[in-house]
Amino acid sequence: MSKILLLGSGELGKELVIAAQRLGQYTIAVDSYQNAPAMQVAQEFEVINMLDGNALDALVEKHKPDFIVPEIEAIRTERFYEYEKQGYTVIPSAKAANFTMNRKAIRDLAAKELGLRTAAYRYATSAKSLQAAVAQIGMPCVVKPLMSSSGKGQSTIKTEADIQKAWDYSQEGSRGDVAEVIVEAFIDFNYEITLLTVTQRNGETLFCPPIGHRQERGDYQESWQPASMESAHLKTAQDMAAKVTEALGGAGIWGVEFFVGDDGVYFSELSPRPHDTGMVTLANTQNFNEFELHLRAVLGLPIAEITQERIGASAVILAKGHSDNPTFSNIGTIAAAPKTDFRLFGKPTSRPYRRMAVVLTYDVLNGDVLAVTQRAKELAAKVEVKL
């Protein structure tokens, strides 16, 4: 049995812990608040501020885990290099977790060092330098804090008047201590995908069928699998994913995000862990879902192949406001729907737009992906988070 220290205990961590329990592993779920989803299913839990390096050191020293598995970005990842030196295994690697928590590190690696095609970009450290950056990139452009996720602090500048607002908003949505933003040219893409990529301890890399998704406020609303795309574009995305995951190193699943426009494929960013849009695999669209794949890669268990078993979609259920006791209405309607499943994450509190649950729909392999996605969306809209 291996001891897994899970840093971050949301809905993605919860499914990873469930996969780990099924394979008889020992899990310690960590987050900044009590009763986080993954804590509800792990053997042990810890509540700390994961941006506090000393608190993190103390946890690692206390538990001496076989695997340190980050589940969120907001962790004092600089410490991971030290843990690796001490002989600990960080998933997928200290470098991967550290580079991906900062948009500058990962973007410069991808665009400059590896030569991957990305949106044109600049950095800015004040409203004034943002103005200069916008002048160089042109409008529309997208502004994101260097340290943020799920669209927090992200906005699109369409006119000069948006620049100050975009700066102020970025500073509200930024986590961590860096008051810097990335400004990206707006890519008028036809669709975007997540390419779940699995790097294995034996050096082999596997790809899941591409996942399509739709975003609002920088956060995903529906995802579906497979996304239909030209095989040449898929090949380009796979080559880029292989390059960037190889440069970052280590074993695990990665959610590699791409935009596809008339002029081809752009690399956007990647998560060195299961991806929220990959929750569609909970509809058993594949022989192994993304959490099972991650766990196998973590444990060094070989994965022979990844196969698409049926088509599927996921649609999120978001809270409308704050509550200390959120509950759901109308779950019976979803339960009664054929070829449908759902997950209620068990988050103890809600806030506006917090993701609380997901609806999963599926159909046979040659079914209609668009129809399955529409069904997931319609069913999710029937559920309300009661405050």
Ligand X SMILES: NCC(=O)N[C@@H]1O[C@H](COP(=O)([O-])[O-])[C@@H](O)[C@H]1O
Asked if residue 241 binds ligand X (CB under 6 A), the reply is no
Q: Is 144 annotated as a binding residue?
A: yes
Strands (E), the chain: 3-7, 26-31, 44-47, 67-70, 89-90, 121-124, 141-145, 155-157, 181-185, 191-199, 205-207, 211-216, 219-225, 252-261, 264-271, 311-318, 327-329, 340-344, 355-363, 384-386
> Least CB distance from residue 73 to ligand X, whole Å?
8
Asked if residue 11 binds ligand X (CB under 6 A), the reply is yes
Residue 15: φ, ψ to 5°? -65, -35
Alpha carbon 125 to its chain's center = 26
Cα–Cα distance, 231 to 204 (Å, whole number) = 21
Q: Are 215 and 151 in contact (CB under 8 A)?
A: yes
Q: Rg of the chain's alpha carbons, rounded to an integer?
A: 20
269 flagged as catalytic: yes
Q: Are 9 and 38 in contact (CB under 8 A)?
A: yes
Between residues 28 and 106, which has the closer beta carbon with respect to ligand ATP? 106
> Least CB distance from residue 184 to Mg ion, whole Å?
12
Residues binding ligand ATP: what is the number (CB under 6 A)?
18
367 flagged as catalytic: no
Name every residue whose Cβ is closer than 8 Å to that of residue 209 and which is 6 or more positions away in sequence.
225, 226, 227, 285, 286, 308
Asked if residue 323 binds ligand X (CB under 6 A), the reply is no
> Least CB distance from residue 133 to ligand ATP, whole Å?
13
DSSP code for 129:
H
Asked if residue 148 binds ligand ATP (CB under 6 A), the reply is yes
Site string for Mg ion, 235-264 (x = CB under 5 A): ----------------------x-------
Asked if residue 142 binds ligand ATP (CB under 6 A), the reply is yes
Asked if residue 270 binds ligand X (CB under 6 A), the reply is no
Cα–Cα distance, 112 to 116 (Å, whole number) = 8
Tokens of 361: 């729909």
Between residues 211 and 234, which has the closer beta carbon with respect to ligand X? 211
Catalytically annotated residue among 31, 276, 290, 292: 276
**12 interface partner picked from ligand ATP, ligand X, Mg ion, none, CB below 5 to 8 A per type:** ligand X
Between residues 71 and 257, which has the closer beta carbon with respect to Mg ion? 257
The footprint of ligand ATP on residues 243-282 (CB under 6 A) is: 257, 268-269
204 flagged as catalytic: no
Q: According to CB under 6 A, which one of 150, 286, 289, 340 is a site residue for ligand X?
A: 150
Residues pairing with 194 in the sheet: 211, 257
Residue nearest to ligand ATP according to CB distances in the complex: 149
Q: Are 210 and 237 in contact (CB under 8 A)?
A: yes
Residue 98 CA: distances (Å) to CA of 53, 63, 92: 13, 22, 11
Q: Which positions are annotated as active-site residues?
A: 149, 151, 257, 269, 276-277, 355
Which segments are annotated as binding site? 11-12, 71, 103, 144, 149-154, 184-187, 192, 257, 269, 276, 347, 354-355
Contact positions vs ligand ATP (CB under 6 A): 119, 142, 144, 148-151, 154, 184, 186-187, 192, 215, 218-219, 257, 268-269
Contact positions vs ligand X (CB under 6 A): 8, 10-13, 71-72, 149-150, 276, 347, 354-355
